[in-house]
């Protein structure tokens, strides 16, 4: 059974105030996982990184090594933990797991391929094709609106925690869906087809205003 989404209460880091300044978020999707290879809706299944995923994570970690991150937040799914571990080899800051960064809770679709979903849950598959934001996964799953609500709550919360720190740099290791809805929230427009494994998206908060500087960048993987 997929775990319930509950958010532990963590104390914000102790910061010395320098006045409101810009916060830069480096949003990283995990490397290729076993679930990606199988083509299933993974949810919180304990899929590990593949050899390719590990290589992607190492390249991403090196690409971020020139940036002194102040804090790294990550989903605690296995594939994101493993990706974060690579990044932390090159960083000297705390790593904190936050359940608001979980992948979309899939309910009864967890572990199924798209073909299996169409076969077993044709009405759900049709609803997902018609409106991906409002279609709720059966059996306690989420819709993309649900995912957006908790992902955006995370972003606003972290911005509030760090707003008094001058030029804070925050790493976020999460899932494609989470990054997708965050970017769409800021830029507007429909959900993108995919956010690629170990891509880096850069989002800023400056005096209450959000901006996307970079989206789904994989140039460091070449």
Task: Please state, in angstroms and rounded to a whole number, the distance separating the CA atoms of residues 209 and 144.
Answer: 23
175 and 101 in contact (C-beta within 8 Å)? yes
Residue 152 in any domain: the answer is yes
- At residue 191, the pLDDT reads 67
pLDDT > 60? residue 6: no
Task: Please state, in angstroms and rounded to a whole number, the distance separating the CA atoms of residues 204 and 183.
Answer: 11
Which CATH number covers residue 56?
3.40.50.1240
Across 14-35, b (16+ Cβ under 10 Å) vs e yields eeeeeeebebbbbbbbbbbbbb
Tens digits of per-residue pLDDT, 149-166?
Answer: 999 999 999 999 999 988
Task: Please state, in angstroms and rounded to a whole number, the distance separating the CA atoms of residues 51 and 34.
Answer: 10
- At residue 15, the pLDDT reads 38
Domain of 33 in residue numbering reads as: 23-106+143-221
Q: Calculate the average pLDDT of the chain.
A: 91
Tens digits of per-residue pLDDT, 106-133?
Answer: 999 999 999 999 999 999 999 999 998 8
Say how many domains are in the chain: 1
3-class DSSP assignment, residue 147: helix
Give all strands (DSSP E) within the chain, no chain letters.
23-29, 71-74, 95-97, 168-174, 200-206, 209-217
Residue 1 in any domain: the answer is no
**Structure tokens belonging to residue 96:** 């904190």
Residue 13 in any domain: the answer is no
17 and 49 in contact (C-beta within 8 Å)? no
pLDDT > 90? residue 55: yes
Residues, the chain: 222
Task: Please state, in angstroms and rounded to a whole number, the distance separating the CA atoms of residues 15 and 5.
Answer: 28
Residue 9 in any domain: the answer is no
Tell me how many helices (H) and strands (E) the chain has.
7, 6
Residue 69 in any domain: the answer is yes
* Average of per-residue pLDDT across 174-185: 96
Indicate the pTM of the whole model: 0.90
Residue 122 in any domain: the answer is no
Tens digits of per-residue pLDDT, 188-197?
Answer: 877 666 899 9
């Amino acid at each position: 059974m997929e775990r319930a989404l509950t958010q532990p209460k963590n104390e914000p880091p102790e910061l010395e105030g320098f006045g409101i300044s810009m916060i830069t978020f480096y949003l990283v999707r995990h490397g290729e996982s076993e679930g990606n290879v199988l083509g299933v809706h993974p949810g919180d299944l304990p899929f590990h990184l593949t050899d390719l995923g590990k290589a992607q994570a190492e390249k991403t970690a090196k690409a971020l090594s020139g940036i002194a991150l102040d804090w790294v937040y990550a989903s605690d799914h296995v594939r994101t933990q493993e990706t974060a571990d690579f990044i932390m080899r090159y960083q000297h800051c705390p790593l904190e797991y936050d359940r608001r960064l979980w992948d979309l809770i899939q309910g009864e679709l967890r572990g199924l391929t798209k073909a299996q979903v169409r076969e077993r849950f044709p009405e759900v598959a049709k609803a997902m094709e018609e409106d991906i934001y409002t279609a709720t996964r059966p059996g306690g799953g989420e819709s993309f609106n649900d995912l957006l609500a908790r992902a955006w709550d995370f972003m606003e919360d972290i911005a509030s925690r760090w707003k008094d720190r001058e030029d804070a740099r925050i790493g976020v290791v999460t899932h494609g869906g989470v990054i997708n809805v965050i970017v769409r929230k800021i830029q507007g427009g429909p959900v993108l087809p995919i956010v690629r494994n170990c891509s880096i998206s850069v989002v800023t908060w400056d005096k209450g205003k959000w901006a996307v500087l970079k989206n789904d960048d994989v140039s460091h993987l070449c």
